[in-house]
Amino acid sequence: MADYKVVEVVSKRDLKRFIRFPNDLYRDCPQYVPALVADQIKSLTSVSSAKYCPHKMWMICDGGKTVGRICGMINPRYNERYGKKRARFGWFDTIDDIEVAKLLVGTAEKWAKENGMTEIHGPLYYNTLGKQGMLVEGYENVPPFNCLYNYPYYNDLLVSLGFEKECDWVQYKLRADQPVPEKMVAIADRLMERYKLVEGDVDTLKRDKALVREFFRIYNESFAESVYNFIPFTDEEIEEEANQTIGLLDGRLCCFLLDENREIAAFGVSFPSISKALQKAKGSMFPFGWIHFLKALKKFDTIDLMINGAAPKWQNTGVSSVYHNIMARKYRESGVKWAITNPQIDTNSASFVWGKYEHELFMRRRCYVKTIE
């Protein structure tokens, strides 16, 4: 008979058990993509977002065996921005047992209530960039590296515990080498000439710290009103994200449009898919995991479309047709066959652009919300 106990994660040993639990849970699942252990340790202990977001982690143990985990978080900047008293949960994984799920969620809810919260939602990260959304469609597919994977029973467990749908994100798969509609090409050419737009050099951008800061400022402004539950980056988060990602940008897969004042007008960022490399690395870059990553970055036929957008003053000008045209050309030149879009709220008009191309639903993921009683 099971003897479940709630264990708060406080020691380094506990933290390692917490991080490695999904690797055991999904050991026989060919779609699961393990996260790098080093990245998880940083996210849970020292990432800048965690410094202003109170959070706690718990495991459910059955004797010496881990059977579930959860992290409870409170983002005060989110609550202030949206006028809420919400906690969020993430790093939620469990065996198919309602008692385990009830203990996990109940523990997080109790902590949230003690901190004055009236609702809890998730699965989410501290801020907008982290992994979020419980998979509800597309279980047969391997997710991009920055997205969650879960068994179908997760949703049944949460619904049984009183959670309701807050929103859905959708992802599409499309041929990256298909031509851009002729009408869009013609519009793009005219706009480039009319607005005196030029394509910026990605390697130059990577060396220009002022331009990097400008990119993230535009990122904050361009998504502030259009992305559901968006939380603008702090200066420290910008610095951290820049140090972590800018150096990885590949000119073959990215586009930055500059206006006549040499300011960023619009952007599109993609990365080679590294999901299979992560599977082979099994959560570690060493001793041989880095080899799989180098191969994945050098030779690839699938890409993950990460972010694209325009500076506020360039929105609703048609400039999106310009960077879509440039990105499509780059994909063809690089021999890319498939593209997986980043999760977008299914009601966001920005996601409708994929209707202009041949595409298929790849994954749908959901954020759940519940009133804390």
pLDDT in tens, 85-137: 999 999 999 999 999 999 999 999 999 999 999 999 999 999 988 899 999 99
Is there a contact between 358 and 178 (Cβ–Cβ < 8 Å)?
A: yes
Residue 353 within a domain: no
Does residue 371 fall inside a structural domain?
no
Q: How far apart are CA 310 and CA 42, in angstroms?
A: 31
The pLDDT, as a whole number, for residue 265 is 93
**181 and 74 both lie in a single domain:** no
Assigned domain for 230 exists:
yes
303, two tokens = 């890409």
Q: Are residues 197 and 137 part of one domain? A: no
Tokens of 278: 């992560």
Residues 54 and 202 in one domain: no
Distance between alpha carbon 87 and the CA centroid of its chain, in Å? 19
- Looking at the domain assignment, is residue 254 inside a domain? yes
- 189 belongs to a structural domain: yes
Among residues 308, 301, 297, the alpha carbon closest in space to that of 250 is found at 297
Q: Quick check: is 372 in a domain?
A: no
Cis peptide before 179 (omega within 30 of 0): no
Asked whether residue 324 is assigned to any structural domain, the reply reads yes
Last residue of a domain, one of 121, 143, 170: 170
**Residue 91 backbone zone (phi > 0: left; psi -120 to 50: alpha; other: beta):** left
Per-residue pLDDT 10s for the chain (373 aa) are 689 999 999 999 999 999 999 999 999 999 999 999 999 999 999 999 999 999 999 999 999 999 999 999 999 999 999 999 999 999 999 999 999 999 999 999 999 999 999 999 999 999 988 899 999 999 999 999 999 999 999 999 999 999 999 999 999 999 998 877 788 888 888 999 999 999 999 988 888 888 888 888 888 888 887 788 899 999 899 889 888 888 889 999 999 999 999 899 999 999 999 999 999 999 899 888 999 999 999 999 999 999 888 998 898 888 888 988 899 999 999 999 999 999 999 887 666 677 777 889 999 999 999 999 8
CA distance 23 to 366: 22
List phi, psi (to 5°) of 107: -65, -45
Q: Do 145 and 187 reside in the same domain of the chain?
A: no
The predicted pLDDT at position 247 comes to 87
pLDDT at 352: 66
Instruction: Give the bridge partners for 87, in sequence order.
Output: 120
Question: How many domains are there within the chain?
Answer: 2
Separation CA 146–CA 272 (nearest Å): 12
Same structural domain, 163 and 186 = no
The answer to whether the CB of 308 falls within 8 A of the CB of 292 is no
Question: What CATH number should be reported for the domain holding residue 135?
Answer: 3.40.630.30
Shared domain check, 115 and 193: no
Rounded distance, CA 161 to CA 77, Å?
A: 27
pLDDT on residue 350: 63
Residue 360 lies in a domain: no
Domain around 214: 177-336
- Reading the block at residue 143, the tokens are 């997710």
Co-location of 330 and 227 in the same domain:
yes
Identify whether residues 121 and 192 lie together within a single domain: no
Is 213 in the same domain as 282? yes
Q: CA 127, CA 130: separation in Å to the nearest integer?
A: 6
Query: In what helix (H) or strand (E) does residue 188 lie, and over which residues does it extend?
Result: helix 182-194
- How is residue 96 annotated by DSSP? S
Residue pair 340/146 in contact (Cβ under 8 Å)? The answer is no
Residues 100 and 198 placed together within one structural domain of the fold: no
CA dist., res. 108 & res. 176, Å (int):
42
152 and 270 co-located in one domain = no
Assess whether 224 and 136 both reside in one domain. no
